[in-house]
């Protein structure tokens, strides 16, 4: 792709890099590490937008050049208004996966694009309907290692694809980077035409 401005991806997630590469966008990586805990009374959509925005700002501070456009993202799973992040251990993953079993939840992914003069953040919501999971399914799934670094303790793009009965919304948003909205923002910031 013929890019007009340099893009920096403020993410350590291999999925986000793969998704951007999939659509032919070139970038360099500048991951940042933030405290991802929610503020008191913060709604899930506010949390995910605040974190995506903060990741972009933190990466901007670390960069030498002010010409770069920065893209950052954050994903959480929401069930009954509660935000589920990454599991800290098996007990936590088991609790999350059994609460997701046999019902629908939402995945919220916010993307934030920033340059020296402005920043724009948007949030994308996707509905995911899970199959019923047995205790054995959950134990076996944890043992694969896949849930450990993923919001809600699952990866739709991996083994957990078989747990997903249906999805309403953006598949790429569930994986971590909504491609349609990303391209719209990259055009707005004149990274691509």
Ligand X SMILES: Cc1cn([C@H]2C[C@H](O)[C@@H](COP(=O)(O)OP(=O)(O)OP(=O)(O)O)O2)c(=O)[nH]c1=O
Q: Which of 170/189 has CB closer to ligand X?
A: 170
C-alpha closest to that of 49 among 125, 127, 148: 125
Q: How large is the angle between the packed helices 14-22 and 179-188, nearest 10 degrees?
A: 70
User: Which residue, 158 or 192, has its beta carbon nearer to ligand X?
Assistant: 158
Rounded to whole angstroms, the Cα distance separating 76 from 60 reads 23
Q: Using CA atoms, how far apart are residues 17 and 173, in angstroms rounded to an integer?
A: 13
* Binding-site member from 152, 181, 182, 189 for ligand X (CB under 6 A): 152
Q: Pick the closest to residue 173 from 109, 121, 112, 105 (CA basis).
A: 109
Closer by beta carbon to ligand X, 14 or else 102: 14
Select 75 or 115, whichever has its Cβ closest to ligand X.
75
We find the least distance from the C-beta atom of residue 85 to ligand X, in angstroms, to be: 7
Q: Does 62 bind ligand X (CB under 6 A)?
A: no
**Stretch in the footprint of ligand X (CB under 6 A) among 69-77, 96-104, 134-142, 185-193:** 69-77
Q: Catalytic: which of 74, 81, 127, 149?
A: 74
Near ligand X by CB under 6 A, which window of 87-95, 113-121, 130-138, 150-158? 150-158
Question: According to CB under 6 A, which residues from 110 to 139 bind ligand X?
Answer: none
If binding means CB under 6 A, how many residues of this protein chain bind ligand X?
A: 25
Q: Interior CA angle at 34 toward 32 and 69, to 5°?
A: 40
Q: What residues from 7 to 46 belong to the interface with ligand X (CB under 6 A)?
A: 11-13, 15-16, 31, 36
Known catalytic residue at 115:
no
Hey, which residues are catalytic here?
A: 74
- Can you give the binding site for ligand X, defined by CB under 6 A? 11-13, 15-16, 31, 36, 55, 73-75, 77, 86, 107, 149-152, 154-157, 174-176
């Amino acid at each position: 792709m013929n890019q007009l401005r340099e893009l920096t991806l403020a993410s350590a997630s291999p999925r986000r890099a793969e998704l951007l590469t999939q659509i032919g966008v070139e970038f360099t990586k500048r991951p940042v590490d933030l405290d991802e805990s929610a503020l008191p009374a913060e709604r899930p959509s506010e949390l995910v937008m605040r974190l995506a925005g903060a990741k972009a700002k933190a990466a901007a501070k670390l960069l030498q050049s002010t010409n770069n456009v920065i893209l950052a993202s954050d994903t959480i799973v929401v069930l009954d208004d509660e935000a589920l992040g990454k599991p800290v251990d098996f007990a936590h993953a088991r609790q999350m996966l059994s609460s997701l079993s046999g019902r629908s939840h939402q995945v919220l992914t916010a993307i934030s694009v920033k340059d020296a003069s402005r920043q724009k953040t948007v949030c994308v919501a996707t509905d995911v309907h899970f199959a019923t999971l047995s205790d054995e399914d959950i134990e076996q799934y944890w043992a694969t290692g896949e849930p450990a670094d993923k919001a809600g303790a699952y990866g739709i793009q991996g083994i957990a694809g078989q747990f997903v009965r249906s999805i309403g919304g953006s598949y790429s948003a569930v994986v971590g980077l909504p491609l349609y909205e990303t391209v719209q923002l990259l055009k707005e910031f004149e990274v691509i035409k």
